[in-house]
Amino acid sequence: MDTSLTGTGLASSEGWCRVIGYVDKSKKHPISKLPHLVRLAHLNVLLDTVMATIGHPDLAVIEGAAFAQSGGGAHERAWLWWRLFERLADQGTPVGILSTNQRIHYATGKGSGSKTVVMDQVARRWPQWQTGGNDNAADAVVLMAAGRDWLHHPIGDVPKVHRKAVDNADWPDAIDGALLGAGARS
């Protein structure tokens, strides 16, 4: 999953993608400007919706928090990231974490690149995941694919240079041996 306040990207090895987030159709009330109790209520709805959508995967792969990201909502983004991590841990779901650069590297073979380049790679390499051109969904597909690769059940061929991202990511210390089977979902 690629966490975001307005567009958390989710992808499953079962073949689906979703984007879930707070929507302000008027563009006058970003979540970071709402009164605190209202903001918290919207954040909790987002958290609950993400968790209900993903269910209980065998492995969750989440993009690490982007500490250098500027703009409004940094406090709220951090809250969402940690709460998602906490909920996954509480339900016993092993969690892998890829940095932004590792995610890009897995998709492109380089540690940096535009969202357009990543989306192009996702469309070319994993076309069965319909992202609708949404970069959050494309990022989630990359994270899911990296998780499957780490489990030794990649969803497609990825050049060796791309796999360095998997080798350098933060993976769970202990994992149930059954998770390494072909049926594992991420």
pTM of the full structure? 0.90
What are 93-126's pLDDT values in tens digits?
999 999 999 999 999 999 888 899 999 999 999 9
In the predicted structure, residue 51 carries a pLDDT above the cut 90: yes
CA dihedral 68, 145, 140, 59 (to 10 degrees): -90
Measuring CA to CA, how many Å separate 162 from each of 21, 46, 65, 132, 165? 29, 32, 21, 24, 6
> In whole numbers, what is the pLDDT of the chain averaged over residues?
90
Residue 181: the pLDDT is 46
In the predicted structure, residue 175 carries a pLDDT above the cut 80: no
Cβ-proximal residues to 27 (8 Å cutoff; 6+ apart), any chain: none
CA separation for the pair 50, 47 (Å, rounded): 5
